[in-house]
Amino acid sequence: MKATSLSLSALLASVLFTAPFGASAAAPAHEEYVAHLQSMNHDAAGSATTGEVRFTINGDEVTIDIRVHGAPPDTVHWQHFHGFATGQAASCPTAAEDINHDGIADLIETGKASGTTMVPFDSEPAAMDVAHGTYPKADAHGAYHYRQTVSLKALDAAFAKAFPGQQLDLDKRVVFIHGVPAGQALPASVASLGSIPAQVTLPIACGKIERAAARPAD
Ligand SMILES: [Cu+2]
């Protein structure tokens, strides 16, 4: 009787100790990336926008979590990652990007350092419809919290279709937050994309995406 219960507990112990290792060998990838948002163009925006972006990849799921503070209040904020479709790593713009010296680094001027608009953080990132997406709106205090979980496979496929031969390569991208109120006066020299008002595309914060130490899964 005693021998049986001992061998049973030995068996249980061996199952308990080996199972987690066996499970983790077969477990899907877990990766985290983070970007700390620094304000841009704060004189034109009338506020200093800061925040944090976190990407958590668990197998086929990628969760994008964006917390923003100090943005122009009661305003919709376009947000995307920008980058180069050439393999070059993007960086956040500096004062040197204000090519026409109007005191503002507009969206077009940021292209040299940060590349082009790539993936929108709207209600449907994998649809990659930058100009027609539904983006978050800051509250009366200029804060918002955006969180979306999307299929990594779907996002990869949409990205490869839009940028042939390129991969998401998060650690080569930067996150941009855009937008000041529609009625806000901006110099005529502030350029935008096509017919989209400069108030919509004005960059107000940027953060470089970096690989972060993965937190243990719960
Ligand atoms: Cu953008």
Domain boundaries, the chain: 28-212
- Stretch 121-150: mean pLDDT, rounded? 97
Cα(157) to centroid(ligand 1), Å = 20
Cα(49) to centroid(ligand 1), Å = 15
Cα(178) to centroid(ligand 1), Å = 6
Question: pTM for the complete prediction?
Answer: 0.85
Predicted pLDDT at 3: 44
d(CA 140, CA 149): 26
Cα(171) to centroid(ligand 1), Å = 16
φ/ψ of residue 94, rounded to 5: -120, -175
Best CA proximity match to 153, nearest among 37, 57, 41:
57
Predicted confidence (pLDDT) at residue 155 exceeds the cutoff of 90: yes
* Topology adopted by domain 28-212: Immunoglobulin-like (2.60.40)
Cα(28) to centroid(ligand 1), Å = 30
Predicted pLDDT at 14: 42
Cα(58) to centroid(ligand 1), Å = 25
Cα(75) to centroid(ligand 1), Å = 15
Predicted pLDDT at 216: 60
Neighbours of 160 (CB within 10 A): 13
Cα(30) to centroid(ligand 1), Å = 26
Residues 6+ apart with CB under 8 A from 150: 61, 62, 64, 125, 126
Cα(29) to centroid(ligand 1), Å = 28
Cα(177) to centroid(ligand 1), Å = 6
Amino acid 211 reads R
What are the tens digits of pLDDT across the range 38-82?
999 999 999 999 999 999 999 999 999 999 999 999 999 999 999
Cα(176) to centroid(ligand 1), Å = 5
What residue has token string 């993007």? 90
Cα(114) to centroid(ligand 1), Å = 10
